[in-house]
Structure 1
């Protein structure tokens, strides 16, 4: 895995599942704090993942709002 991620006790995590869990928590911007990046490379990756996660949510919200507004406009025209 890329970078070093440690748990709350300061022990570096091992295994694919723990790294996947860290990425999922970061992408969804939950940020539980039980796993944290331990070096600059991991911090950069986590920052990029957070930005992508936030942008993904913003895009999804925009698409849903656009669809809802178009439906309201169509109903008002009829």
Structure 2
């Protein structure tokens, strides 16, 4: 359940970081202290910046991450 919530959070950030669904944010706040939420958002930002860098310099996708990329197209759920 937590992994699904974190995956939905990551997907929502990529889709529109200015519009994280309230239900996702509320569930995160119920499960994690403020420090962890700050770390999650910071980590997401670092990963987005890394993805942009990799795209610009045309780094090949890591084969070990293929399974995660295939699941990245899942729709964001609110619950």
TM-score, normalised to structure 1, is 0.47
- Greater relative CO (CA pairs within 8 A, separation 6+): 2
Larger radius of gyration: 1
| Structure with more helix by fraction | 2
